[in-house]
A and B are shown apart, each in its own frame.
Chain A
């Protein structure tokens, strides 16, 4: 059985339905990439999985348990962590306090403050700075480290390269193998198709709220993915 299973999921905001019958699955230790144009429903999908947004219809199960009616704080304790779009550091907390607050779900595991610093050594000299004093790349590292502090079984990452210089993005993506190496499954949203294909086992392309194309990243036909991204077959 897969760690995360999403079946026929629909969700949205008020009258606006952003997801229409999405299904996907992620195995333990696997990395999934979600691609798609702006407004395709990628962020809505992550927000629904992590409990920040209620599902309208459909099922989400995590390690065999139905979670579509659970709230975000319950799911964090079950082992689903989120790196939200825009990083969302707590502005009045220092870098170190931001990391420590990540351990609030009190889940035992590999990740500790020291090990996050080992993963992102840039943060050590910034540990007593407030979150907003940092560069965008450093903030993104804190956001990832904060999510890791919960020792999640499933890590959701929403557009972690947004607004960052390519060199910084490379550096952040370099940490990904180590993260999944400790058994964490990753679902990440990424605009850059090449990068999405290179870091993931499976890729799902969303179009207007449904899965337009999915498959093993290694075998994915790039042109088919680009067509799905732009809705050329629709």
Chain B
């Protein structure tokens, strides 16, 4: 009877009903990998953008939706990744595509001291401090380091060595790899022991700490993961865009778009940001010629979602029948669940 002592909630077991989503996932992945061979350049560029926004959204959602760290300053790491690309590719002669993982590492190295400062702050202080830090980095790069080109920024000339199509295809596959790493990284992180700790922290941080959850370590893992994703994304974006300017690379819009995406899709799920990114791209395309209107409407949508559907579109779809593409939710073993109901 020793077995009945085990009370660790286990992830939902894979059942036969998982076969269909797995098959669908395989088809989608195959289509995405081969996309440069059959799609138009326009589609490829749109999907590329979709992929890096998806990566950013997954990382932000893990941070805000699971670990309760409401950051509005991820643009700091996007910008650091972008300038990492410039310095490594232009000044150190590293292959620009190789700088993407290196930019992730650079972002993590810089995120460590930042996390020391931030993790002493709570709630709203944390949120605004992330922004102040991003602004500090932007202003530093903007004005004071001539080497980085000041306000005009710098161009990644070494990208000229690649044929345009090759550059776009390679960039696309890097973006796909990044999105896959972000989605499945979050998935496996949530299914690991860290995921359990995160759920405990989300429910009550002090409670989690009192039963021995290493809240600080868990939050730091999440924060550094999000910084790595943002750093890699920053390098990737400017492999495509070539000219890096501080105002664009450190723009608050990187945080804003991602927050809108996650809020629309559904905070605290893996599926939410995927759905949110799709809806975001659809809306942005529709409003492409009306830039002021589009930002106004995204702002309004965020307000409405928080008021009327705080769990996002994914939460609305799931109110009656839980569809779990990514099985990260945990449940109590039957006998404990029944006991709880009966009380």
Q: Does A69 contact B (CB under 8 A)?
A: no
Contact residues in A for B340 (Cβ distance below 8 Å): 15
Q: Mark B317-343, 1 if CB is under 8 A from A, else 0.
A: 000000000000000000000001101
Residues in B neighbouring A17, C-beta threshold 8 A: 343
Residues of B within 8 A of A15 (CB): 340-341, 343
Q: How many pairs, one residue from A and one from B, have CB atoms within 8 Å of each other in the complex?
A: 5
Contacts of B343 in A (CB 8 A): 15-17
Alpha-carbon distance between A16 and B340 when the two chains are bound, in angstroms:
9
A70 to chain B, nearest CB (A): 26
Chain B nearest CB, measured from A208 CB (Å): 11
Where chain B touches its partner, the secondary structure class is: helix
CA distance A17 to B342 in the complex (A): 11
How many residues on A have C-beta within 8 angstroms of the other chain's C-beta atoms?
3
Nearest opposing residue in chain A for B341, CB measure: A15
**Distance in Å: Cβ of A167 to nearest Cβ of chain B:** 34
Closest to A17 in B: B343
The answer for the CA separation of A16 and B339 in the assembled complex, in Å, is 12
Q: Smallest distance from the beta carbon of A11 to chain B beta carbons, Å?
A: 14
Interface string of A119-145 (1 = CB under 8 A from B): 000000000000000000000000000
- In angstroms, Cα B340 to Cα A15, docked, is 8
Q: How far is the CA of A203 from the CA of B165 in the complex (A)?
A: 87
Distance between A193 CB and nearest chain B CB, rounded to angstroms? 28
CB distance from A106 to the nearest CB of B (A): 33
CA A17 to CA B343, docked complex, whole Å: 7
Interface string of A44-73 (1 = CB under 8 A from B): 000000000000000000000000000000
Q: Mark A16-34 against chain B: 1 for CB-CB distance below 8 A, else 0.
A: 1100000000000000000
Chain A positions within 8 Å of B341 at CB level = 15
A50 to B343, CA, bound (A): 25
B183–chain A nearest beta-carbon distance, Å = 33
Cα-based distance from A16 to B341 in the complex (angstroms) = 9
Closest CB of chain A to B155's CB: distance in Å?
55
Interface residues as binary, B241-274 with A (CB distance below 8 Å gives 1, 0 otherwise): 0000000000000000000000000000000000
Contacts of A16 in B (CB 8 A): 343
Measured CB to CB, the nearest residue on chain B to A12 is B343
Give the docked Cα–Cα distance between A16 and B343 (Å): 7
* In the bound complex, CA of A15 to CA of B343 (Å): 7
Chain A: which residue is nearest B340 at the CB level?
A15
- In the bound complex, what is the Cα–Cα distance between A137 and B279 (angstroms)? 60
Smallest CB–CB gap between B299 and chain A, Å?
Answer: 33
Q: Once bound together, how far apart are the Cα atoms of A213 and B97, in whole Å?
A: 78
Bound together, the chains give a CA A17 to CA B341 distance in angstroms of 11
B339 CB, min distance to chain A CBs, angstroms = 11
Complex: A147 Cα to B340 Cα, angstroms: 38
Chain B residues 286-343 with CB under 8 Å of chain A are 340-341, 343
Chain B residues 51-103 with CB under 8 Å of chain A are none
Shortest distance from the beta carbon of B316 to any chain A beta carbon, whole Å: 24
Task: Give the CA-CA distance A15 to B338 in the complex, in Å.
Answer: 12
| Chain A min CB distance to B336 (Å) | 13
How near does chain B come to A209, taking the closest CB pair, in angstroms? 11
Residue of B nearest to A16 (CB): B343
Nearest CB of A to B337, in Å = 11
- Nearest CB of chain A from residue B207's CB, rounded to whole Å: 14
- Provide 5 A-B residue pairs closer than 8 Å at the C-beta atoms, listed in order of the A residue: A15-B340, A15-B341, A15-B343, A16-B343, A17-B343
**Chain A residues near B (Cβ < 8 Å):** 15-17
Using CB atoms and an 8 Å cutoff, list the residues of chain B in contact with chain A. Answer: 340-341, 343
Closest 5 CB pairs of A and B: A16-B343, A15-B343, A15-B340, A17-B343, A15-B341
